[in-house]
Amino acid sequence: MKIFEETMQKLSKSNRRRILYAVILVLGIAVDQLTKALAVKHLAGRVTLPLWKNVFHFTYVENRGAAFGMLKDHRWIFLIFSTVAILALAFYLFRGVSYLSDKREDGSYPPLGTLGGIALSLIVSGGIGNMIDRLALGYVVDFIDVRLINFAVFNVADSFVCVGAGLLALHLLLPFFKKKEKN
């Protein structure tokens, strides 16, 4: 453990962040694929598994569309769009620069920041998790069924994308609030 701590201390702050982002990516993909494998094993062929009746169920769904089942049976469109989006976000993430932010006075861009990096890590891991399903199965396995709000059945990868998008929005909005505090 001491060797690990010494190695981490020798790394630059940006490299430590990149390691954090890579760990989030790998763990996110692993958790997503594990939960989907469990859903296939235990839920396929069942109507639904209520954990809290009419509130929260596990329901196996083969989603052949985009988010929440929209535009069914357009697999190649989603694969192309997902690939381009994932590559672009991964570039921003591991390049350590956010072109989504305002330019500095010297023309450079500010660093992505930890919150923005975590947000992009979650978005990319969710995108890759669903892309793995599309490539391997031709559909995405969904199983989380929140009936209390009558929401579409979704999966862990979808959750990562939504949470990541929320964190990214927060990351992009925080500078505006900081500017108002200074004035």
Residues with a catalytic annotation lie at 142, 158
CA distance to 102, 110, 165, 174, 180, per residue, from 177 (Å) = 14, 17, 19, 5, 5
**Local structure of 70: helix, strand or coil:** coil
Let me know: does 93 contact 21? Beta carbons within 8 Å: yes
Query: Exposure of 147 by Cβ count < 10 A (0-12 exposed, 13-18 middle, 19+ buried)?
Result: middle
Please give the backbone phi and psi of residue 115, each rounded to the nearest 5 degrees, phi first: -60, -45
